[in-house]
Structures are given as structure tokens and as C-alpha cells.
């Protein structure tokens, strides 16, 4: 089980400190939003570059942007260890995933809550990570959408059938209240924003999420 705190809920004026505060996590999840693919604007390449220098954690960039075919490789170049694009926005997802892997980044494909996994089954061999959104992308602190759980289970089945090492990441509304549902459905990477950076002690929140996830995984 891996825990990826999302800096979307961190204090943007103190990103280096906030990243150091969750040094016990596995990844730092960075939500890039362009105000077109989603109705919110967050951070882009210069901040990812700065975080790459300042943070000891590998960066997991979640691109909620139009035209990832054009922009995603630059995030690998900027130092992201993992680059996830939304398949709804990608024009050539196979070409893009291959390009990211050639740049030594993990290639991730993200699905909005209403996007099915089945049409993309054959892409699994091109991917290192599938991100299933359990809120509509754009904002932190939203309520977990249980309606997505059956898709999470189907994604787990397809990944197991396919074999190979593809991580199944769940993003949106992940907290101690929902972690068990996520793990039972097959997630092995948990993204959590408000549950970590909204807590008085972010490192303790990471530890608690990890313990709950490990217990749920049995
Ligand atoms: C939402 C982002 C999430 C967000 C999750 O569009 O992709 O990563 O930070 O925040 P919480 O955990 O508060 O739902
Ligand atoms: Zn995210």
C-alpha cells in the first residue's frame, strides 16, 4: 500500500515545508489544473521544477489539463517520477504513454468518475498506473463518490487479468472513513489531500491512513 498526499490541500506559500512534513509518505501528489479541463487553476511546470529540487519525495503529477499530448512530457522533464494524464483529454494515449516511459517516468492514465475502464483494457500494457477518480476532478475536500467503487473493482480485475505491474490509484475523498472501501475494491495507491494536509499533524495522518489501508488489505 502506498500513500500519496496531495499538495492541493497544502499551504502553497510553504510547499517545501509541507512536503517535508509528509516525508513518511511514498509520493507527493501534485495536481496540475489548467482552468479548461477542470474549472480550477493550480500550479504548473515552474512549481513542479521547484518542488523537485526542494522535496525528498518522488513527484506524482496528476495532469488535469487539455492537450496532455503536448504538455505531459515536459513534466517528466521537470523531474516528475510519475506523470498521469486524463484519457478523456489525450489524443494519442499510446504514443503519449510510450513517450513518458522513454523519459523514465511512470506513465499513468486517469479516469473521471463517469469514464468507463473497459474501452482502455488493451492499453494496460502501456501503463504503469491507472488513476480512478472518486470525485469530479477540480477541487479538494469533496465527498467520496461510492458510485465509482464498482469501476474500481473492475479495474482491479482487468489489471490482475493483464498481469504486469500496474498500480491502481484512487483519488478524491480518501480518508480514514473511506480507505477501507477503496482497499477492498482493489486500490493499492491512496491519494489524500484534505485528510492529510487538513490534519493538525500531516505525518500522523499518513501513518494512520497507511495503518488502516494495510489492515484493510489483510
Ligand atoms: C482533485 C484532485 C485530488 C485532490 C484530492 O481534483 O485530483 O488529488 O487533491 O483532495 P481530497 O483528498 O481532499 O479529496
Ligand atoms: Zn489528483
CA separation for the pair 73, 97 (Å, rounded): 9
* b/e map 52-70, b = 16+ CB within 10 Å: beebebbbbbbbbbbebbe
Q: How far apart are the first and last CA of the chain?
A: 11
Q: How far apart are the CA of 71 and the centre of ligand 2, in A? A: 17
Ligand 2 centroid distance, CA of 94 (Å): 21
The pocket around ligand 1, CB under 6 angstroms, is made up of: 6, 8-9, 29, 31, 62, 135, 137-138, 140-142, 171-174, 191-195
Spell out the per-residue pLDDT of the chain, length 218, in tens: 999 999 999 999 999 999 999 999 999 999 999 999 999 999 999 999 999 999 999 999 999 999 999 999 999 999 999 999 999 999 999 999 999 999 999 999 999 999 999 999 999 999 999 999 999 999 999 999 999 999 999 999 999 999 989 999 999 999 999 999 999 999 999 999 999 999 999 999 999 999 999 999 98
| Whole-number pLDDT of residue 183 | 98
Q: Which three cell numbers stand for residue 126?
A: 502501456
pLDDT of residue 153: 98
pTM for the predicted model, two decimal places: 0.98
Q: Ligand 1 centroid to 193 CA: how many Å?
A: 5
pLDDT given at position 129: 98
Probe residue for ligand 1, chosen from 39, 142, 146, 177 as the CB with the greatest number of ligand atoms within 8 Å: 142
Which H or E run includes 167?
strand 167-171
Positions marked active-site: 31, 171
Do 189 and 5 touch, CB atoms closer than 8 A?
Answer: no
Amino acid at each position: 500500500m502506498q500513500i500519496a498526499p496531495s499538495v492541493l490541500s497544502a499551504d502553497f506559500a510553504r510547499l517545501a515545508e509541507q512536503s517535508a512534513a509528509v516525508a513518511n509518505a511514498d509520493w507527493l501528489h501534485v495536481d496540475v489544473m489548467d482552468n479548461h479541463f477542470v474549472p480550477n487553476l493550480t500550479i504548473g511546470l515552474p512549481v513542479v521544477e521547484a518542488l523537485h529540487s526542494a522535496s525528498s519525495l518522488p513527484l506524482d503529477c496528476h495532469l488535469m489539463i487539455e492537450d496532455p499530448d503536448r504538455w505531459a512530457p515536459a513534466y517528466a522533464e521537470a523531474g516528475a517520477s510519475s506523470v498521469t494524464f486524463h484519457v478523456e483529454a489525450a489524443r494519442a494515449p499510446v504514443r503519449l504513454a510510450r513517450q513518458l516511459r522513454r523519459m523514465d517516468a511512470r506513465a499513468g492514465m486517469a479516469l473521471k468518475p463517469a469514464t468507463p475502464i473497459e474501452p482502455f483494457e488493451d492499453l494496460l500494457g502501456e501503463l504503469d498506473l491507472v488513476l480512478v477518480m472518486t470525485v469530479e476532478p477540480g477541487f479538494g475536500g469533496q465527498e467520496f463518490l461510492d458510485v465509482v467503487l464498482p469501476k474500481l473493482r473492475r479495474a482491479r480485475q482487468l489489471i490482475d487479468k493483464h498481469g504486469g505491474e500496474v498500480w491502481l490509484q484512487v483519488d478524491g475523498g480518501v480518508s480514514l472513513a473511506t480507505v477501507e472501501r477503496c482497499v477492498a475494491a482493489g486500490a493499492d495507491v491512496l491519494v489524500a489531500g484534505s485528510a492529510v494536509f487538513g490534519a493538525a499533524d500531516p505525518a500522523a495522518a499518513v501513518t494512520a491512513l497507511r495503518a488502516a489501508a494495510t489492515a484493510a488489505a489483510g
